[in-house]
Chain A
């Protein structure tokens, strides 16, 4: 379903060139729960960003459901992200002026879903992630774990084909991190979305059904469990 072919990416910072990806190729099937792991600077976030159409590669190709996403124009990329992808960030990145419900509804608002359906789907997903009764709280009134649950709900509410999560447990204590991972695993099984994590957290790696290890921009190992 996702085909990554010979991906190269180099960043230039002043006089220094950083080769973030050096010919990465990977096939990911629908519904996989996959961790891209590696130390800092290994290229895992870059790879996640390129799959998520928020960064571009220097060369190579990515096809999703047989369609190349590398040459999409800016607006088409935005529409693709809106309709097919969900994002979960390390620092939650919720909109502080919106309530938990509104943050979740934001994804559907962007898609132009009508108000009644938006409400129904948002409330259902908030219940699913264990935030029933907290819909009207703003991010500032939620714990880190609860905020990440809202972020997951925001990503999953639109039933994305792919959910991309960059270090989703990095800001959480281990217990909360585990809860979040269990929740994501559950959602993965229920919604059949493909979950792709970039992480260096061993607990996330343990949860993954497939572990791809990156080192210096190259795939070091690709292990299915």
Chain B
């Protein structure tokens, strides 16, 4: 039955313009699908990495109930890190104790451009140990790193710009001690951080752990110990293995997926939203294809009537149109994947700078600066198969409609 594919090919060549338009509609849909999926995957991958490198590490150990009340910064739900450190050292994990507390950052005109205060979250870190877990130190773009015992402050780059802070400027921190007494102390801006995680760049405020311990009267207690097993495969399993041991000590251990639940939820919601956009693009392409395929079929009703009169069976007619539509689908698939790869290439190599969008609003993703695509070959193969499948499906539907006409009606069709 090679005459059917041959005839299908000739029909495709007969209607060159329509073939190209239909294949073009498929190609456009597939290109958008490939590019959007490439960017989304790139954003997700990079966000996950930046979340773990700058915010959550592999996981975090806290006192029971702290995580549920974290919005109120409950210092009383703290613990002594010495309890858990032997377990962490035995596991080979990097670890870093921290105190998170809420307060106001107060600054005055001269050297600041104007008086003001900003409420926010302060994070007290161990300047020596923190680099075992987080990459903050690598993101220092101005000034110097914190020194234990010195009243220094690191600010996120955008935050510093917003309030006009520079190295050497002094600010006041107004907060409460662990017992609820108001406490005010001053810090000197010693460094500016500009890291790939926009949450840090937008609102990060870091001071030495020993200074927070003193002013908050923590007496050596911390609100969290962050644990790092790296971002390689197996890190999550290593952390999961640690959880029972930590819980046996009366503490709570949560992994990065729970700590970054906002990102995970937003990522999933956005994937759903983007899925809808992709679906709409494919619908538009599908309507284009079905329109041209219907035209192709209806233009040849008489021809098909004649073929049926000569003894061509329904399944042969279907096969003929399926060959034609598969040909269009293959053409559209090749074009679509080719165009998709062509557009993805600069996205992978140079990315898109959308800092301007992220600076003033958080979208949940933990990326800033360049948004990069990734090569997603299974997705390209899927897109290709989808293009062919969509064309074949639409043709099957159109052919079915034509075959419902009786032969004399087909032969009379104008």
Using CB atoms and an 8 Å cutoff, list the residues of chain A in contact with chain B: 45, 49, 52, 54-55, 74-75, 78-83, 85, 87, 89, 93, 95-98, 105-107, 109-111, 154
Contacts and interface: CB of A to CB of B under 8 A. Distances in A.
Contacts of B313: 75, 78-79
A70 B62 CA distance: 85
Contacts of A74: 314
Interface stretch (B10-18, B82-90, B111-119): B10-18
Contacts of B309: 52, 54, 81, 87
B10 A78 contact: no
B316 A110 contact: yes
Contacts of A54: 308-309, 406-408, 411
Interface in B296-326: 302-303, 305-314, 316
Interface in B28-43: none
A209 to B, nearest CB: 25
B3 interface: yes
B408 A97 contact: no
A85 B407 CA distance: 15
B407 A55 contact: yes
A95 B309 CA distance: 13
Interface centre among A52, A75, A87 (most CB of B within 10 A): A87
Contacts of A83: 311
Contacts of A89: 306, 411
Given A54-B411, A98-B7, A109-B3, 5 more contacts: A75-B313, A78-B308, A93-B302, A95-B306, A98-B10
A49 B408 contact: yes
Contacts of A107: 310-311
29 contacts: A49-B407, A54-B309, A54-B407, A54-B411, A55-B408, A78-B308, A78-B311, A78-B312, A78-B314, A79-B313, A80-B311, A82-B311, A83-B311, A87-B309, A89-B306, A93-B302, A93-B303, A93-B305, A96-B303, A97-B10, A97-B11, A97-B13, A98-B10, A105-B3, A106-B3, A107-B311, A110-B310, A111-B311, A154-B310
Contacts of A45: 408
B203 to A, nearest CB: 67
Most buried by A among B302, B312, B316: B312
A93 B411 contact: yes
Tell which of B3, B310, B316 has the most Cβ of chain A within 10 Å. Answer: B310
A159 B312 CA distance: 17
Interface residues of B, number: 23
Contacts of A49: 407-408
A178 B246 CA distance: 103
A92 to B, nearest CB: 9
A105 B14 CA distance: 19
Contacts of A80: 311
Given A81-B309, A87-B306, A97 B14 contact: yes
B218 to A, nearest CB: 85
B310 A82 contact: yes
A123 B314 CA distance: 28
Nearest to B8: A97
Given A97-B11, A98-B10, A81 B310 contact: yes
A111 B303 CA distance: 18
Nearest to B315: A75
B303 A95 contact: yes
A130 B307 CA distance: 24
A109 B7 CA distance: 11
Tell me which of A49, A97, A111 has the highest count of chain B C-beta atoms within 10 A of its own C-beta: A97
A222 to B, nearest CB: 24
A70 to B, nearest CB: 15
The 7 closest A-B CB pairs, nearest first, are A82-B311, A54-B407, A93-B306, A97-B10, A81-B311, A109-B3, A97-B14
B302 to A, nearest CB: 7
A110 B227 CA distance: 73
A157 to B, nearest CB: 11
Q: Which of A85, A98, A105 has the most CB of B within 10 A?
A: A98
Contacts of B305: 93
A89 B305 CA distance: 11
Most buried by A among B3, B311, B314: B311
Contacts of B11: 97
Interface string B370-414: 000000000000000000000000000000000000111001000
A110 B310 CA distance: 8
Contacts of A52: 309
